[in-house]
Amino acid sequence: MLEIGKKTETCIVTTKLYDELCKDYRFREGLKACINCGTCTAICPAAEFYRYDPRKIVDTVQRKDDSEIEALLRSETIWYCGECMSCMTRCPRSNAPGKVIMALRNLSVKLGYFTESERGRQIYPLTEAINRNILEYGYCVYPDTFRFEDHPESGPVWKWHLEHKEASYARMGANYKGKGPGALRQIAPEDMSELKAIFDVSGGTERTALVEEFSRKKAEEMGMSMEEYRRHTFEHCSDIHFNND
């Protein structure tokens, strides 16, 4: 766990937030020299929908003011981007605001600031669902954990499909839970062990634990069990986010 300017169990970290961001390769690739033209905001799908302006975020970070960067890390703002990277295509100075956002999110998680915003807290249900799918099945998305109740937009046809999963997948030529190659095959235990080992050596396991630890603290603070917290962060949407101007 990293805490800026505070003594932790392992070390004293005095590095500025901007310097921390510079350690992230995405930040170094994503921010060269912003001329504040606003092209990124003009092309951004999120800027039309949310109270979100990638130009302002990049400008804030570029000013290297740690108190402003800290406010960003604790804010709703950095969680609005959809990472479509349309901004990367159009920036006339080859910046990538979407990558700057990824670096900001990464630092927000490391510092535990993500629990201070409604959209940041969603990291918990996301981590719980996606990382579990990866480590249990070898896929980011997997039919057995895709609950129709959580996805009514998938329509009655998908409800039907899920009710007849084995037969429906067989009809479509999948090798669902089967041995050997093919779509939705069962990934062998030795391959799953390698995935787990990759998580262990590359920070994935540590990140998962960190998200859980900070989220547990927040759930206690909000008077919720972890399951209540997971449901709440997955489903609750207040009206503060939207660009209704």
Partner 1 sequence: MIYQGKQKIWSDYQKDIPDDHWYYARSCIRQSFFPASEKYFLKICRDLLGKDICDNEHHTTCGGIAYHSDTIPQETAMTIVARQFALMTECGYDNLVVSCITSFGNYTETIETWREFPELEARIRENLWKACRREFKIPKYIAHASDLVYKFRNQIAENAQYRLVDKETGEPLKIVEHIGCHYSKMFPHKGVGGAEYPCVLSGMVESWGGQVIDYPERRHCCGFGFRQYLVKANRGYCVSNTHKKFESMEPYHPDAIITNCPGCPYFLDRWQYVIAEQTGKTYGQNGYGIPVFTYEELAGLVLGENPWDLGLQVHQVAVEPFLDKIGIEYKPSEKYLGLNKEDLLRPEMPQVLKCH
Residues 155-184 that bind partner 1 (CB under 8 A): 155-161, 164, 167-174, 179-184
Number of residues counted as binding partner 1 (CB under 8 A): 90
Cβ atoms within 10 Å, residue 163? 10
CB 29 within 8 A of CB 37: no
Q: To 10 degrees, what angle do helices 204-221 and 97-111 make?
A: 70
Distance of CA 132 to the CA centre of its chain: 14
Residues 62-81 that bind partner 1 (CB under 8 A): 79, 81
Minimum CB separation of residue 241 from partner 1 in Å reads 9
Q: Does residue 194 bind partner 1 (CB under 8 A)?
A: yes
Question: With CB under 8 A as the contact rule, which of the stretches 13-21, 34-42, 192-200, 221-229 interacts with partner 1?
Answer: 192-200
Going by the DSSP 8-state scheme, the letter that residue 44 receives in this structure is -
Q: Does residue 45 bind partner 1 (CB under 8 A)?
A: yes
Residue 150's Cβ-side half-sphere holds a number of Cα atoms within 13 Å equal to 13
Q: Does residue 228 bind partner 1 (CB under 8 A)?
A: no
Q: Does residue 139 bind partner 1 (CB under 8 A)?
A: yes
Helix (H) or strand (E) holding 25: helix 25-30
Minimum CB separation of residue 221 from partner 1 in Å reads 20
Question: With CB under 8 A as the contact rule, which of the stretches 11-19, 64-72, 207-215, 220-228 interacts with partner 1?
Answer: 207-215
Residues 78-107 that bind partner 1 (CB under 8 A): 79, 81-86, 88-89, 96, 102, 105-106
Q: Does residue 226 bind partner 1 (CB under 8 A)?
A: no
Helix (H) or strand (E) holding 218: helix 204-221
Minimum CB separation of residue 16 from partner 1 in Å reads 21
What is residue 238's three-state secondary structure? coil
Residue 26 or 218 having the CB closest to partner 1: 26
- E-only strand ranges, the chain: none
- For residue 218, give both structure tokens: 């927040």
